[in-house]
Amino acid sequence: MKLNIFETAPDGFLDLLPNELFKVLPGPSLIRFKGKEEPPLFLATLLHGNEPTGLQAIQKLIKKYRAEDSTLPRCLDVFVGNVAAAKANERRFSHQPDYNRIWNGGSFPENNLAREVISIIKNSRVFASIDIHNTSGRNPHYACVNRLDAPFVNLARLFSQTLVYFTRPKEVLSNAMSEFCPSITIESGLPGDPYGVQHVFEFLEKCLNLKEIPPDLDDKEGLYAYHTIARIHVPENSRIGFDANSKDKDFCFIDNLDQQNFAELPDNTLIGWRYNPKLKLSVIDEKDQEVESEFIEYHDKEIRLKRPVVPSMFSTQEKIVHQDCLGYLMERFSLPANADS
């Protein structure tokens, strides 16, 4: 698997839909745009092929400067990830690894590709790294960091006052980039929402115009910070549904599950029903330990939370739940005044 490198956008790139990109990009590609300032800002998009908002916001941004006949305020390196999956509007194909889980070594061809991207970006002495995603369930727009250093938090806050700190899975791009620059992941709501494109566009333009990222965290007013404590998985090949009537399934979850994202759920909250008592949900904490018994209780068929949590990324799309997880469990926390990892 080869990394394609373009010294400027190939013809047509700025107008193609995600499922048409394959016409000009033979596969995963790094596209380099010249700007007034060095070092470059690094952006990643379409690591998940069904998450188009990042591409659309980047296209809009570049087109704006071209229409004004002006140079970008800062150089920009754009990594476009899973072009093949984007053609089919899939997160990934089953024969592929998840492109946001390839950034911490491994023996897939995609792991070599990731190493090559990391090496190029590191050598560019990159200004900052922003990986742009959509969520498959309803969530507010939020930013994720894998370190709590002030520049990371300050960069995140330019996008949203809702901040999620997590350390697992550690194979994500933002974690790899955090070794050498302020690095965040942004979650820009559901795919296809024009507001998401506009919000990401405005955020990226702000970032392109930054001279520096403020090194201190002076004011925490309005900031909602959460840290991930665990994620919920369903057993492989289990049958799941999102409708209380689907009793032929192994598990059924409440049908508005994704509307609970970022809500403070008290203990004993009902999240679904288990119709196959031989199976159990799996809850994995940030140390990769099974902690299901700390979080989940079964009352007859009901599945209830054993302790208060704030969920995020709860999804009601069966395929995504199997490919990734049902969702994450978080806790609110306060950042120290000058947050440091």
Binding residues for Zn ion (CB under 5 A): 48, 51, 133
Cα separation, 55 vs 28, in Å, equals: 13
Q: How far is the CB of 48 from Zn ion (least distance, A)?
A: 4
* Nearest of 156, 170, 180 to residue 39 by alpha carbon: 180
Closer CB to Zn ion, residue 48 or residue 280?
A: 48
The residue length of the chain stands at 341
Q: How far is the CB of 133 from Zn ion (least distance, A)?
A: 3
Q: How far is the CB of 1 from Zn ion (least distance, A)?
A: 20
Cα separation, 220 vs 313, in Å, equals: 24
Closer CB to Zn ion, residue 48 or residue 199?
A: 48
Q: How far is the CB of 54 from Zn ion (least distance, A)?
A: 9
Q: How far is the CB of 23 from Zn ion (least distance, A)?
A: 23
Closer CB to Zn ion, residue 183 or residue 269?
A: 183
- What is residue 115's three-state secondary structure? helix
Closer CB to Zn ion, residue 86 or residue 148?
A: 86
Closer CB to Zn ion, residue 92 or residue 274?
A: 92
Q: How far is the CB of 100 from Zn ion (least distance, A)?
A: 6
Q: How far is the CB of 60 from Zn ion (least distance, A)?
A: 20
Backbone angles phi, psi at 33, to 5 degrees: -115, 135
Q: How far is the CB of 293 from Zn ion (least distance, A)?
A: 30
32: left (phi over 0), alpha (psi -120 to 50) or beta: beta
Closer CB to Zn ion, residue 40 or residue 81?
A: 81
Closer CB to Zn ion, residue 76 or residue 132?
A: 132
Cα separation, 287 vs 310, in Å, equals: 19
Residue 240 CB partners (closer than 8 Å, separation 6+): 234, 249, 250, 251, 252, 253, 318, 321, 322
Helical pair 194-208 and 53-67, crossing angle rounded to 10 deg: 60
- What is residue 219's three-state secondary structure? coil
Closer CB to Zn ion, residue 181 or residue 313?
A: 313
Angle at 260 between CA 258 and CA 265, to 5 degrees: 150
- What is residue 240's three-state secondary structure? strand
Which residues sit opposite 4 in a β-bridge? 29
